[in-house]
Structure formats: C-alpha cells, structure tokens
Structure 1
Amino acid sequence: MRIGIPRETKSGECRVAVTPSGVRALRDSGAGIVVETGAGTASGFEDREYRDAGATIVSTSPEAWSADLVVKVKEPLSSEYGFLSESSTLFTFLHLAAFPQLTEELLTRRVTAIAYETVVSCGALPILRPMSEVAGILSIQAGARGLEKGCGGRGVLLAGTDDFPPGDVTVLGAGVVGRNAARIAAAIGANVTILDVNPKKLSEAQGRCGGRARTILSTPEAIAGAVKETDLLVSTVLVAGERAPCLVTRKMIRSMRPGAVAVDIAIDQGGSLETSRPTTHAAPFFIEEGVVHYCVTNMPAAVPRTSTQGLMAATLPYLLSFSERGVIGALRSDEGLLAGLNTFNGHVTCEGVAKAFGKTFLTAKEAIR
C-alpha cells in the first residue's frame, strides 16, 4: 500500500497527520509513504526526519494525493476537490454534516471516505478523544483571552484575585471536552457550572473538578438560566456524525452579560449556538448581540506539537491495519473502524450525514459486501 500525507491547507492548520515515528512503523509494516514537502514543519517535524524514517518527500500536492490511502488532519478544501478520486481512500476528520458541498463531491467522485470522528471503540470515539481533550483545555485559555477588554470582553479575570471574586464559567456538556474545560476552569479558581442530560457524566465531571463545580441536569430552561449569569460559556455538545444540535438561541445570547464570551467547540459540526459562525486562528473572535464569540473550527491546531502526537497515537493502529489488510480488509475486520466509513462508491454510509441532507442511507456493511 502507498500512503500519502499532503500538507494541510486549512487556515491556521499546523498539525500533520503522521509523524516520522509513525512513518517508520508503517514502513516496517510494508507500506510505502509519500510526504509532501513541509507537511510537518509547523508541528516541528522536518523533511529530513521523514526521509530518515523511510518516506519519499515529494514537492507537489498531487503527488501526495495520488496514493492508495490519503491521510490528513482536516477535511479537503475546494482547492483540493480535484484530487479526490475513487481510486484512493481518504482518512481524516470530515464532519460532513456541516459540509454539503464536500459531501456532494465525495459522492460524485465515488470516494471511499473514512471519518476520524465516527470511528468507535467500546462505545467511545478513540480518534476524536485526544483532540477533544485539547479543545476542552484550550477553550478556557481562549475564553479568558476573549474576556480581555482588547478583544471586546467585559474585562473579567476568571481566576479573580485575593480582593475580588473569580469569574463564572458555564460548560454545556459533560463529555470529554466538557470535563476538560470544567477541570481547567475549576483549577484556576473560576466558579464552574456544568450542565448535561446524563447524571453519571455530571458526577464524573464534578469528580474531575475535585468537587469544585456545580452540576445541573440540562433542560432548555436550565440552560437559559445558566447562560444569563455567566461570564464564559463553553458549549461542547456533540452528536457523532450528525450536525450539532442548536442548544443556545439568539434570545439566550442576548440575555448574557455585555462583554461575556461564548466558545462554541461544536462549530466544526455546524455549531450549537444560533449566533455562531466559523472563525480562524488569524481572526478568532467576533461580537454578536454584545457577546464575544470564539468559533475556530480547528482549535487543536493552536498547539500542533501536542495535538499531532495525540492524533498519531490514536490513528496509528488503524493505519497499520490498512497497511497489513488493505482498506476493505481492515474495514471488514473491525466494526468500529467500519463505523467511520461515511461515503463509499457514491453512497452515504453514515446515518447522521444521510439525515442531515436527506440522502438515502446505505449501511457500511452492505456497501462493502
């Protein structure tokens, strides 16, 4: 198998899909690796390291995209659609429910597309998890920055001081992202409130915060009340494979304290705030209804070294399986990996994506039969 690693083109995307150590492991398994020059530079991995690990360095994107298996971090942009082909498999974060045009391109070009975010293992999302941890931690850093007056915020220091009280942080969702956001907020001394529909998750999140958080069963009324009284809102709610549910209405945003901050981590799946729209690392903030919004669609790219290493640890077992069994063989041998198959031979094979766009759904198992 020939595996291609193109350079990422999304604005502010500094991660790379495979590290030099990952290349070495794949080479040892018998795969040939093609890396576009400069693909790992922003993450601190130079071309010579890839070359020393056994990769072939190529100078153009088409050379990397012509491989049997193309491994990326983020979804292809319109400038890359021409590289998509039924002769190769794409393995990356896709979040197709938020990208109708990309979905159509994958279907038209009959691409075998496997999405990191819908691969499952023991009921969890193993590839999404490390990026969720990073995003949760970064949400508090980003929110604290947004609260600064220079960003349009209300000028509140989340940690407070000896003489003045800390700020209020509200986290919607007690999954991996929410637990990490709440843990960091509690650790710096903020007043933390966590909302979720699952009491068990709330209990676990409170434990991660050392008991220094208030937990509330989530209802529309509870969300409205918590949002109104917070300085920083972090929305983390995810439905794997589907467009994010809109949990916070414009009316709720309008009720927030002037200069409060809203961080929408679900923005890469369409966003869970009615007022959200995608932003970039170059221009991360905008103000809507008097509230500072942070809606960067690739948050973990802010810390590419850590994020790349976490991503590599999660994807390498699957990449080795592809190398050793072939794409179809790997999919047939692992139902959790098969759940990652979003499009195949012109069919939508992810129920959430089919639901988002009113497409006919064909199960992944039927598609590769």
Structure 2
Amino acid sequence: MIISVPKEIKNNENRVAITPAGVKELVKRGHEVYVQSTAGHGSGFIDDDYTAAGAKITPDIEAAYKMGEMIVKVKEPVFREYNLITSGHVMFTYFHFASSLELTQAMINQKAVCIAYETVEHEDRSLPLLVPMSEVAGRMAVQEGAKYLEKPMMGKGILLGGVPGVLPAKVLIIGGGVVGTEAAKMAAGLGADVIIMDSNLKRLRYLADIMPANVKTMASNEYNIRKMIRDQDLIIGAVLIPGAKAPKLITKDMLKDMQRGTVLVDVAIDQGGCIETCRPTTHEDPTYIVDGIVHYCVANMPGAVPYTSTLALTNATLPYIIELAGSGWKTAVAQHMELSKGLNLCKGQVSCSGVADAFNLPHHVKPQLQ
C-alpha cells in the first residue's frame, strides 16, 4: 500500500503521524511511504531521517494527498484539506467528528473511509489510541493550570503546592478516566489538595486504593459539583464519551459561584467540552476570561510537547497502520473488532452511533464496504 504523511497545518500543531522508525517498519514490509517535506521538523525529525528510513519526500501538501492511498495524520483535516481528500482515500487520524458538523459533512461529501483513532476500542472498552494522548493531556492540564493560577495570567496568585505554613491549592478533577487519573497524579505530586469525581463507584474505589493521601474521591453529580466548585482554585474537566459529545457538567450559571481567578481547564474540548462556557482555543492564544474565571481550552494540548507526544502516539498507532496497510482496510476492519469500532464514516455513510446521534444523521450499523 502507499501511505502518505502530510504535514499538520492546524494552528500550533507540531506533531507528526509517523516517526522514521515507523517508516522503516512499513518499508521493510514492502509498502511505499511518502512524507511531506518538513512534516517532522516540529517533533525533531528532519527530512533526511525519513529518507534514510526509506521514505520519499513530497514537496507540498497537495502532492502528499495525491500520492497516498492511506493518509495517516495526527489531527482532523482542516478546511484547506477537504478538497484534497477523495473517495479513494483511507483516512486514519483523530477526527472527533461529534464536535464538528462542518468536518463531518465534508468527509461525508468526499466519501472517504474515515477511521478515527479516538474510537478504536478493545473488548474491555479501553481506547488504545486515545490513551497516550490522554496521558499527555492529563499531565499537561495540571502543568498549564498551575501556570494560569499565577497573578500575571489573571489567576488567583496561588502556588499549586503551597509552602510550609501556607495551604496548597485546591484542585477539582471531574472524570476519573485516563485524563483524570494522570491529572490527579501530577497535582498530588506537586502537593495540591485534590478531589477527583466520577459517576462510576467501582472506578472511585480503584482510585482511592492507588492514589496518595492528598487525593480524595467523590461521586460526580450536579449537587456535588455545585457544592465543590465554590472554593476550588483549579478545576479540570476530564470527561469522555467515546465518539460522542461531552456532557456539559459545569454550566454558565455555576461561574457566579466560583471565586474570581479560578482556572478552568477543559480537556474534553475536542469533543465539544464539558464546561458550557468553554470554546476551543490555541497555544497561540490559549485563555480567555468569563465572569472573572480563567478558561484554558486548547484543543490540541499535546501539540505543545510534540517530541514526547509523537513518540507516545506512534508507539500506539503503528501496529494498526501496519495491519491496515498489510491487509487492506476492508479486511482489517472485518477481522479486527477494535478497527471496526474506529470506522466512523465509510463512503458517505455514518457508521458511528455517537456521530449520527450528535447531528441526527442516518446511522448505518453495517456500511457498504465498497
């Protein structure tokens, strides 16, 4: 198969979809790999690294799309890329369709096969291609939250871990999945007073067993959320429903109950956000203020640490890329349940219930594998 890796052009997205090591694994299996010139520069990989591994370099994004049968990316295509995508393409990337009708409709119109990293799912319901970036985003949420608690950033002027004689910051994490767990580890390690909420009591029992003493667990419901937000310094939204829009667990009217300078980090912003007043921001302009509350809602947080993120992501995606390239997408999807879960759009048909429900679109449980 011919695999093509275009350069990411989303604002401040520095990751790349395949490392030179990944190229080498594909080439030695008989596949052709094209990489757009400078695609890996943001992650620390130069064109010579790719050519040494057996890739061919394309001069621009148009050539990258034209050459490839399977297009492997990190982030969803942006407007400039829509018309470069054809019905002959298999697209393998993060899509987060449920947060964008425009993107969903564009990919339906282009009739491409769209396999989304974020909905590839094992039998135990774990999400192997979302986990590495969730780990990065969860840890970054605390790192960024701590920064924006500083007074020059319009925060409260609180040091997350405090100092002897001064209490540490209070951190509320809503969601006990991978993002929430990693955020709790980081916040606890910095010495903060942490509460992690989830609606799954089994998960809370597990977290209570593994977390240090400065992390407490609490059932997630509207009453408890309204009660706890009143005196928190950093609130992290870490809720995920695979393939679907995130529920709005913090509403606009709740902001009046928060203290001025409280920082909100919505890690679910890729899926529409779990905080009503959040809208996607960029690393270039990451925050804004609503009712005195600092909102940090960067939609590609791991893009700020591209070397770490690229290696973590490609460690997870490469086996699936090899399978799709070796067997062909139809056979791979038919034989591997996790890849069938990843199939969101197929030749103009919506095959993911979360995407269909988000926009009231027809849902094809078994799309035509044309």
Give the corresponding residue for 1:147: 149
Give the corresponding residue for 1:11: 11
In structure 2, C-alpha distance between the alignment counterparts of 1:185 and 1:202, rounded to whole Å: 17
Give the corresponding residue for 1:159: 161
Gap runs ≥5 in structure 2:
none
Give the corresponding residue for 2:24: 24
Q: State the AA in 1 paired with 2:75.
A: K
Give the corresponding residue for 1:220: 222
Q: State the AA in 2 paired with 1:62.
A: E
Give the corresponding residue for 2:49: 49
Give the corresponding residue for 1:343: 345
Give the corresponding residue for 2:78: 77
* 1:23-79 C-alpha deviation (Å, 9 max, x unpaired): 000111111000000000010011000000000001011111121000000000001
SS at match of 2:4: strand
* 1:293-350 C-alpha deviation (Å, 9 max, x unpaired): 1000000111111110111011011111012101111111101111101111110010
Number of matched pairs:
368
SS at match of 2:131: helix
Give the corresponding residue for 2:273: 271
CA offset at residue 253 of structure 1? 1.9
CA offset at residue 98 of structure 1? 0.6
Give the corresponding residue for 2:289: 287
In structure 2, C-alpha distance between the alignment counterparts of 1:98 and 1:263, rounded to whole Å: 17
| 1:368 is the counterpart of 2:334 | no
In structure 1, C-alpha distance between the alignment counterparts of 2:302 and 2:211, rounded to whole Å: 22
In structure 2, C-alpha distance between the alignment counterparts of 1:207 and 1:176, rounded to whole Å: 16
TM-score calculated relative to the size of structure 1: 0.98
SS at match of 1:184: helix
Q: State the AA in 1 paired with 2:18.
A: V
Give the corresponding residue for 1:243: 245
Conserved in 2, the CA contact under 8 Å of 1:187 and 1:209? no
SS at match of 2:57: strand
Give the corresponding residue for 2:203: 201
In structure 2, C-alpha distance between the alignment counterparts of 1:129 and 1:252, rounded to whole Å: 30
TM-score calculated relative to the size of structure 2: 0.98
Conserved in 2, the CA contact under 8 Å of 1:263 and 1:293? yes
Give the corresponding residue for 1:36: 36
In structure 1, C-alpha distance between the alignment counterparts of 2:238 and 2:115, rounded to whole Å: 23
Gap runs ≥5 in structure 1:
none
Q: State the AA in 2 paired with 1:87.
A: G
CA offset at residue 366 of structure 1? 4.0
Conserved in 2, the CA contact under 8 Å of 1:23 and 1:50? yes
In structure 2, C-alpha distance between the alignment counterparts of 1:366 and 1:197, rounded to whole Å: 34
Conserved in 1, the CA contact under 8 Å of 2:14 and 2:306? yes
Q: Where does 1:306-325 land on structure 2 (aligned, <5 Å)?
A: 306-325=308-327
CA offset at residue 207 of structure 1? 3.5
In structure 2, C-alpha distance between the alignment counterparts of 1:367 and 1:150, rounded to whole Å: 55
SS at match of 1:154: coil
SS at match of 1:268: helix
In structure 2, C-alpha distance between the alignment counterparts of 1:283 and 1:39, rounded to whole Å: 23
Q: State the AA in 2 paired with 1:359.
A: L
SS at match of 1:266: helix
SS at match of 1:140: helix
| 1:175 is the counterpart of 2:177 | yes
Conserved in 1, the CA contact under 8 Å of 2:349 and 2:367? no
Conserved in 1, the CA contact under 8 Å of 2:83 and 2:110? no
Q: State the AA in 2 paired with 1:246.
A: K
Q: State the AA in 1 paired with 2:121.
A: V
CA offset at residue 203 of structure 1? 2.4
Give the corresponding residue for 1:108: 109
* 1:89-123 C-alpha deviation (Å, 9 max, x unpaired): 10000000011011111111111000000001132
In structure 1, C-alpha distance between the alignment counterparts of 2:94 and 2:45, rounded to whole Å: 21
Conserved in 2, the CA contact under 8 Å of 1:97 and 1:243? yes
Give the alignment's Cα RMSD to 1 decimal: 1.0
In structure 2, C-alpha distance between the alignment counterparts of 1:157 and 1:194, rounded to whole Å: 20
Q: State the AA in 2 paired with 1:344.
A: C
Conserved in 2, the CA contact under 8 Å of 1:15 and 1:304? yes
Give the ranges of 4+ consecutive aligned residues of structure 1 lying more than 4 Å apart after TM superposition. none
CA offset at residue 362 of structure 1? 0.2
Kindly tell me: are residues 207 and 15 of structure 1, through their superposed partners in 2, closer, same or farther at Cα, counting changes over 3 Å? farther
In structure 1, C-alpha distance between the alignment counterparts of 2:141 and 2:53, rounded to whole Å: 35
